[in-house]
Amino acid sequence: MQIGCCWFEPSQSTLSNQDNDTSWLMPGAEFAVLKLLTEHRGQVMSNADLLACLPEDDANMARLVQAVDRIRFFLGSPSGKLLESVDDQGYILHSKLSPHRELLGNGPIRRMTKQQYILLISQLLLLFLLIYSVFEPFNYLPSLAEIIGEQ
């Protein structure tokens, strides 16, 4: 089963990253979590359901969070974003990356909302109005002949 750039093979308990040609023989907790999430892809799986699928000696919240973090790490970027935490409710495994998630990052090349765009335009207009009111424009521009004739 394809998960981003990785191939999940439940029968062999392996997750293979096709970008860097690595394969991971998954430990029991990580395998159980990923198997349950792939069976219910696109649905939020509660923390209780995910804890129930873990082996009894690993059935605690810290181990669940660790298992999800290890899966995300192996999936890499951007495929790790397919496995999303839903508040304190649980986790969801998306089928494909949502384009708007990528564009709403906190980096310098993120997209502007309409409100931000309108605010920027209004600030620029106010700046032009301020500059125009402080510096008066020329009412008369001399011709080239007048400039040459003065010399």
Whether the pLDDT of residue 110 is over 90: the answer is: no
Whether the pLDDT of residue 135 is over 80: the answer is: no
Residues contacting residue 89 through CB under 8 Å, at least 6 positions apart: 44, 46, 47
Whether the pLDDT of residue 103 is over 90: the answer is: no
The residues spanned by each domain of the chain are 2-96
Whether the pLDDT of residue 104 is over 50: the answer is: no
Question: Exposure string (b/e) for 110-146, b if CB count within 10 Å is 16 or more?
Answer: eeeeeeeeeeeeeeeeeeeeeeeeeeeeeeeeeeeee
pTM: 0.62
Which of 16-30, 57-71, 88-102 has the weakest average pLDDT? 88-102
**CATH classification number, 2-96, choose in 1.10.10.10, 1.10.3720.10, 3.20.20.70, 3.40.50.720:** 1.10.10.10
pLDDT number for residue 59: 83
